[in-house]
Amino acid sequence: MGRKRSPARHDYDLVVRGACVYDGSDAPGAVVDVGVRDGCIVAVGTVEGSAGETVDGNGLALAPGFIDVHTHDDLEVIRQPAMPAKLSQGVTTVVVGNCGISASPVRPGGGAGGGGGGGVPDPMNLLGADEEFAYPRFADYRAAVEAARPAVNVAALVGHTALRQNHMDRLDRAASKAEIAAMRAQLRESLDAGALGLSTGLAYASALQAPDSEVLALSEELDGRRHAYATHLRDEFARIVPAMEEAVAVGRHSGAPVRISHLKCAGVDNWGRSGEVLAALEHGADGHDVACDCYPYAASSSTLDLKQVTGDYDILVTWSDPHPDQGGRLLADIAADWHTTLVGAARRLQPAGAVYHCMDEADVRRILAHPLTMIGSDGLPRDPRPHPRLWGTFPRVLGHYVRDAGLFPLHTAVHKMTGLPASRFGLHDRGVIRAGMAADLVLFDPATVRDVADFHDPVQPAAGIHAVWVNGRRAYDGQAVATGRHGRFLAPR
Ligand code: ZN
Ligand code: CU
């Protein structure tokens, strides 16, 4: 701790001493010191020498900063670059642009507008208001992120639905040859400017009519060594297995690794099918790089989709443009008050958002525990009553599922949040605690870490996260986010 008297700099900017280090590799933790200099991890083991800051990690766990592989933070990192929802969970990198929807490249005010109103189509409205889509080229978005200097690192996929709305007059049909050529050119330009890959949201009405041939053609722009294909499957209900086969075919055709988004068995009729779904995942992963992400809740969330309205389970309305006062109420109660059907009420609430309690807990656990599963929050930062996954995903895995339920060991949980996603998304200098890696770190207490956000009170920081560093700089101290922000835009290399 002694400071050198000379103006010469310290041997280390930061040393964390005595923590149990979970290095991200799925190996059990070990008590070692970690030394950081110039934003990088430079020493792991017994670290001697002077340090600008020394942190006592005794009794705590030190892990690579968590990588949230499934986010919709595209505009949030510009709108609110302090990113408290993520830092307070230990997340240091977000992958944006999932589910076919991305903030860029989007032609402002142009395109199909989802067949009404002229604004961005559903579900792109989850990301932000029409006027926030101000990045016609991916390079413009990247420059805006770099100018905003968010507190977390950002890597960005390009959304298929965003490309469609740029080049098509309506989205309820297949793209023409000329439209596909225009989308391909825009995708290529985006990849050249640092995009991580392509995402699709084929279940949504804005992309459902895109045949697999359209996606296959676009995927030919991907360089399988650098770019990923991430997909919100065409069907998460009865036809999930064929939808997974379609996703794997895109990967095999293009050579790109496949990332199946928020893998789940949705709808009462599918409860209990996780074994079959995971067998399909393993089958796809035989001979090709296929993996998935999952959030640790038995409820999903998105826009209020008339196709998903059912009386089988609770549907919580989180927001409604025409009826904001109904946010926070069950769709069934709203329908009763209005003397109408569930679908009738859902129609009157449009556009709106919802939480669907559509999964079975046993399926969630089986998918979470699978070795091909990474953790991704799918948090919706713009929702006034967001699904608690936005603030709770990572601590919920560490606390509820690892410590309390014993679903898998802590080192495996850390691997699913760090080393696994870093290798699967080409973030080669992150996700592992090793000399030479970027110093994204989280110090937490395995005995107390837990999600505090719940469905009733969803905007609450987690407990048990003691400190977070991004690129070697303190970003969160367990109470508040730091004023300086040190995230970077991460382009594949
Ligand atoms: Zn999705
Ligand atoms: Cu999503």
Residue 95 has pLDDT above 80, yes or no: yes
CA proximity to 264, closest of 151, 368, 189, 156: 368
Ligand nearest to the CA of 231: 1
Least confident of 53-57, 116-120, 289-293: 116-120
Question: How many Å lie between the centroid of ligand 2 and the Cα of residue 113?
Answer: 20
Average per-residue pLDDT for the chain: 96
Question: How many Å lie between the centroid of ligand 1 and the Cα of residue 374?
Answer: 15
Question: How many Å lie between the centroid of ligand 1 and the Cα of residue 263?
Answer: 9
Question: How many Å lie between the centroid of ligand 1 and the Cα of residue 42?
Answer: 38
CA proximity to 127, closest of 70, 60, 75, 185: 75
Cα distances from 93 to residues 143, 239, 391, 409, 419, in angstroms, run: 17, 33, 15, 23, 12
pLDDT of residue 493: 86
Ligand nearest to the CA of 74: 2
Question: How many Å lie between the centroid of ligand 1 and the Cα of residue 101?
Answer: 9
Question: How many Å lie between the centroid of ligand 1 and the Cα of residue 283?
Answer: 22
CB atoms within 10 A of CB 197: 30
Residue 116 has pLDDT above 50, yes or no: no
pLDDT of residue 115: 41
Ligand nearest to the CA of 72: 2
CA proximity to 161, closest of 206, 120, 130: 206
pTM of the entire predicted model: 0.97
List, for residues 385-403, the tens digit of each pLDDT value.
999 999 999 999 999 999 9
Q: Which pair of structure tokens corresponds to residue 374?
A: 């990474």
Ligand nearest to the CA of 380: 2
Question: How many Å lie between the centroid of ligand 2 and the Cα of residue 148?
Answer: 23
Which residues, 6 or more positions from 91, have their beta carbon under 8 angstroms from its beta carbon?
Answer: 65, 66, 67, 68, 152, 377, 394
pLDDT of residue 108: 74
Q: What domains, with CATH codes, occur in the chain? A: 3-64+431-449+463-476 (2.30.40.10), 66-297+359-424 (3.20.20.140), 299-357 (3.30.1490.130)
For the residues 250-262, what does the mean pLDDT come to?
98
Ligand nearest to the CA of 387: 2
- Whole-number percent of the chain with pLDDT over 90: 95
Q: How many CA atoms lie within 13 A of 279 on its CB side?
A: 4
CB atoms within 10 A of CB 478: 16
Question: How many Å lie between the centroid of ligand 2 and the Cα of residue 391?
Answer: 15
List, for residues 433-480, the tens digit of each pLDDT value.
999 999 999 999 999 999 999 999 999 999 999 999 999 999 999 999
For the residues 315-334, what does the mean pLDDT come to?
98
For the residues 355-366, what does the mean pLDDT come to?
98
Q: What's the chain's Rg over C-alpha atoms? A: 22
pLDDT of residue 112: 63
pLDDT of residue 119: 86
pLDDT of residue 143: 98
Question: How many Å lie between the centroid of ligand 2 and the Cα of residue 232?
Answer: 7
CB atoms within 10 A of CB 172: 13
Question: How many Å lie between the centroid of ligand 2 and the Cα of residue 30?
Answer: 35
Give the whole-angstrom CA distance, residue 368 versus residue 98: 19
Q: Which pair of structure tokens corresponds to residue 39?
A: 């934003």
Q: Which pair of structure tokens corresponds to residue 152?
A: 């977390």
Question: How many Å lie between the centroid of ligand 1 and the Cα of residue 253?
Answer: 22
Residue 117 has pLDDT above 70, yes or no: no
CA proximity to 69, closest of 144, 138, 150, 157: 157
Residue 309 has pLDDT above 70, yes or no: yes
Question: How many Å lie between the centroid of ligand 2 and the Cα of residue 159?
Answer: 11
Question: How many Å lie between the centroid of ligand 1 and the Cα of residue 123?
Answer: 9
Give the whole-angstrom CA distance, residue 179 versus residue 176: 5
pLDDT of residue 107: 87
Ligand nearest to the CA of 202: 1
Q: Which pair of structure tokens corresponds to residue 214?
A: 């359209």
Question: How many Å lie between the centroid of ligand 1 and the Cα of residue 261?
Answer: 6
Question: How many Å lie between the centroid of ligand 2 and the Cα of residue 99?
Answer: 5
Give CA 283 to chain center in angstroms: 24
Question: How many Å lie between the centroid of ligand 2 and the Cα of residue 454?
Answer: 19
Least confident of 96-100, 113-117, 176-180, 243-247: 113-117
User: Around ion ligand 1, which residues have CB less than 5 A away?
Assistant: 99, 232
Give residue 4's pLDDT band: very low, low, confident or very high (50, 70, 90).
very low
Question: How many Å lie between the centroid of ligand 2 and the Cα of residue 78?
Answer: 19
For the residues 297-311, what does the mean pLDDT come to?
97
For the residues 51-67, what does the mean pLDDT come to?
98
pLDDT of residue 114: 44
Listed as own residue / partner, the contacts of 240-243 with beta carbons closer than 8 Å and 24 or more positions apart are 240/265, 240/266, 240/270, 240/273, 240/277, 240/280, 241/276, 241/277, 241/280, 243/202
Maximum distance among all Cα pairs of the chain, rounded to whole angstroms? 78
Question: How many Å lie between the centroid of ligand 2 and the Cα of residue 353?
Answer: 13
Ligand nearest to the CA of 97: 2
Pairing type for strands 228-232 and 197-201 reads parallel
